[in-house]
Amino acid sequence: MTLRTPHRRHRRGTDRRPRVALTVTAVFFLLLYLPIAVVVLFSFNGQKSLTVFKGFSLRWYSAFFHDNVLIESLGMSLRVSLVAMAGSVVLGVALALGLVRCRTRLGSLAGLIMLVPLITPEIVTGVAAMLLFKGMDITLSSGTVMLAEITFSISYVTVILRSRIAALNPEVEEAAMDLGATRWQALRLVTLPALLPSILASAVLVFALVFDDFVLAYFTTGVDPQPLSVRIYSAIRFGVQPTINAVGTLMLAGSVGLIGLALAIPRLFGRRGGLDLLSGK
Amino acid sequence: MAQRTPSGALRDRRGRSASGTRLWTWLMLPGTLWMTGFLIASLILVATLALGTTDPLGNPRFGFNFANIAAMADPAYRIVLLRSLGFALIACAVCLVVAYPVAYTIALHGGRFKNLLIAAIVVPFFANYLVRMYGWSVVLSDGGPVLKALRAVGLADAHTKILQSGVGVIAGLVYGFIVFMIIPLYAALERMDLSLIEAGRDLYGGPLRTFFFVTLPATRQGAAAGAVLVFLPAMGDFVSAQLMGGPNQIMIGNLIQDKFFQGQNWPLGSALTMLMMAVLFIGMLGYLRRTRKDEAEAAR
């Protein structure tokens, strides 16, 4: 056997295309997109039927925009997502900075607490938040949803930011301080600008996650108004109106757009960083 | 070894300064206090209320009795718990079996479309969970495309149903959470040294033997991480059982939901929540022991 370049070797390792794996992958992609395609397709259905497509029409979109309850829910979902985004980004970025730089015992405890939402099923967090609010005699409303969503989203921001901060070269910050900047100035003028793409990306991600979140919102919302996803849940449980297809399609478009934005932000800034969703690291 | 830097701050050997530590601690504090105040406190509240009772009007009362905990031994609850465990574990297994070839194909044969393909998997999972599940239930319905296709190739007859059965619930869980299996598997396969596969072949291992003795063991940690990431939300799910299953397929999440909304027995609901947490905790411990063993072996 002659010496091969790594490139050649790589090629050889993948020479044989495994037919079974390819078939599974094709079927997987088909089944992954089929449900989404069904929702989108039937949102344009001229008939009320959910199984037979007859004629293109925008009547369900028009029905949605004329439905005051749903529009009110949309407004609430947007408000909740915005507040949760702002709150969790501020708290989460600060927490991530502290966690990376502060190697004290308090720091490791904070790191553990931060992980709790990620290893607890949402139904548990939802039940717990609801009991806490009821126990403190707080009426459930959009405010309680915001509080619960902030709590849950801090972890996402912190996890995304932490790896980015750890990858920064601390010497740059030290150089700024050697040039006379205070630690706070170094943080504000050197570190935070370097983190801006990741911060924006995590903000967009949190917005999308909170907007689409159902379980936590379901347990912490009041009766009226209710977030859009809670309305969808009721609609799906008690017989689907085709309007839900239109709402669903709009929400799909919204989240796909937001995720695309979150993934594109680092590139817009022309440097690496931001979301590591795809590299899986 | 304290030494003075030009900026005048005192630093110890690792370059930390007292003022720095103070700033970092202050930065950490708001988020940590927030999470402790809301999350940790509320979880303790659930644990406490599990020992409580309800008054005749159904209002929760704190207390110290173990009636709710003892009620967990009731066969009715045990069946639901075992069913949830079964559904979640089968969903994990199905996710593994489906996700592995997908991750394998993309990681090893994806070429320059790798990132695009992974994005094509990740993006739909940010779409609204309920909308996706609802679309999935339409696809799996009696007149839906999946059953039509299965009937056409003779794998199903006119009476076969997917919805309103355990299969439907598992299909829902798999569709809901399979991305959590694909990502760690893909990462593991990406990291894997491909010359290992070649070595396996050079040693006259067939494709199957190479896969089972080389590729699979090398990516075991990714599979284990994926299993945990699927198992956690699957155990807590109640939407899949509601949309895809019937009244005979309820999971522990449905019981919890029922006790907090329709049934209005919060202490019992809290006890059920604690029971679920206990099961998940045991699962996590198993996973941690496994990975620690793997790490110890790798270090040797």
Q: What ipTM was assigned to the predicted interfaces of this complex?
A: 0.87
Examine the domain organization and report whether B208 and B249 are in the same domain.
yes
Task: Please indicate whether residue B300 or residue B110 has the higher confidence score (pLDDT).
Answer: B110
| Per-position b or e across B243-277, b if 16+ CB within 10 A of its CB | bbbeeebbbbbbbbbbbbeeeebbbbbbbbbbbbb
Tell me how many domains chain B contains: 2
Which pLDDT score, from 0 to 100, does residue A271 have? Answer: 56
Q: Which chain A residues touch B49 with a CB distance below 8 Å?
A: 131
pLDDT in tens, A196-207: 999 999 999 999
pLDDT of A51 > 80? The answer is no
Burial class of residue A171 in the structure, from the number of CB atoms within 10 Å of its CB (0-12 exposed, 13-18 middle, 19+ buried): exposed
Examine the domain organization and report whether B139 and B251 are in the same domain.
yes
Signed CA dihedral, B120, B123, B129, B130: sign only: negative
Examine the domain organization and report whether B123 and B269 are in the same domain.
yes
- Structural element, H or E, at residue B198: helix B195-202
CA closest to A1 among chain B residues = B202
Helix (H, G, I), strand (E, B) or coil at B11: strand
Does residue B56 fall inside a structural domain? no
Examine the domain organization and report whether B190 and B42 are in the same domain.
no
Class of domain A66-268: mainly alpha
Examine the domain organization and report whether B220 and B149 are in the same domain.
yes
Q: Six-digit token pair at A73?
A: 């829910």
Which pLDDT score, from 0 to 100, does residue B3 have? Answer: 47
A119: contact with B, CB 8 A cutoff: yes
Cα distance between residue B242 and residue A218, in whole Å: 15
Does residue B230 fall inside a structural domain? yes
Cα distance between residue A52 and residue A37, in whole Å: 14
Mean pLDDT on B175-181:
96
CB contact under 8 A, B101 and A119: no
pLDDT in tens, A67-115: 999 999 999 999 999 999 999 999 999 999 999 988 788 888 999 999 9
**B136 CA to chain A: closest CA distance, Å?**
5
Does residue B62 fall inside a structural domain? no
Does residue B193 fall inside a structural domain? yes
Q: Which chain A residues touch B98 with a CB distance below 8 Å?
A: 24, 28
Q: Six-digit token pair at B1?
A: 């070894």
Please report where in the chains the tokens 């126990």 appear, as a residue: A135
Percent of chain B topping pLDDT 70: 93
φ and ψ at residue A45, rounded to 5 degrees: -75, 135
Q: What is the CA radius of gyration of chain B?
A: 25
B20: contact with A, CB 8 A cutoff: yes
A184: contact with B, CB 8 A cutoff: yes
B96: contact with A, CB 8 A cutoff: no
CB contact under 8 A, A107 and B9: no
- Structural element, H or E, at residue B54: strand B53-54
Burial class of residue A84 in the structure, from the number of CB atoms within 10 Å of its CB (0-12 exposed, 13-18 middle, 19+ buried): buried
Mean pLDDT on A166-191:
87
CA closest to B242 among chain A residues = A237
Q: Which chain B residues touch A92 with a CB distance below 8 Å?
A: 31
Do residues B199 and B214 lie in contact, with contact meaning Cβ atoms separated by under 8 Å? yes
**B297 CA to chain A: closest CA distance, Å?**
22
pLDDT in tens, B27-58: 999 999 999 999 999 999 999 999 988 877 77
Domain with B143 in it: 67-299
φ and ψ at residue A51, rounded to 5 degrees: -120, -25
| Amino acid, res. B215 | T
Does residue B179 fall inside a structural domain? yes
What is the pTM assigned to this prediction?
0.88
Which pLDDT score, from 0 to 100, does residue B16 have? Answer: 52
Q: Which chain B residues touch A251 with a CB distance below 8 Å?
A: 127-128, 131
Which pLDDT score, from 0 to 100, does residue B192 have? Answer: 86
Map out the domains of chain A as residue ranges.
Answer: 66-268
Q: CATH number for the domain including B293?
A: 1.10.3720.10
Residue A270 pLDDT level (bands cut at 50, 70, 90)? low
CB contact under 8 A, A248 and B128: yes
Which pLDDT score, from 0 to 100, does residue A14 have? Answer: 46
Cα distance between residue B253 and residue B238, in whole Å: 5
Which pLDDT score, from 0 to 100, does residue A272 have? Answer: 52
Which pLDDT score, from 0 to 100, does residue A265 have? Answer: 84
Among A49, A271, A82, smallest CA distance to A164 is for A271
Pairing state of beta strands B3-4 and B10-11?
A: antiparallel
Examine the domain organization and report whether B133 and B213 are in the same domain.
yes
Examine the domain organization and report whether B21 and B160 are in the same domain.
no
Cα distance between residue B172 and residue B230, in whole Å: 12
CB contact under 8 A, B24 and A9: no
**Counting one residue from A and one from B, how many pairs have CB atoms under 8 Å apart?**
287
Does residue B71 fall inside a structural domain? yes
Residue A5 pLDDT level (bands cut at 50, 70, 90)? very low
Which pLDDT score, from 0 to 100, does residue B201 have? Answer: 78
CA closest to B143 among chain A residues = A51
Q: Which chain A residues touch B187 with a CB distance below 8 Å?
A: 279-281
Cα distance between residue B28 and residue B156, in whole Å: 58
Examine the domain organization and report whether B167 and B268 are in the same domain.
yes
Do residues A96 and B24 lie in contact, with contact meaning Cβ atoms separated by under 8 Å? no
pLDDT of A281 > 70? The answer is no
Q: Which chain B residues touch A278 with a CB distance below 8 Å?
A: 115, 118-119, 122
Cα distance between residue B221 and residue B203, in whole Å: 25
Examine the domain organization and report whether B185 and B43 are in the same domain.
no
Which pLDDT score, from 0 to 100, does residue B288 have? Answer: 86
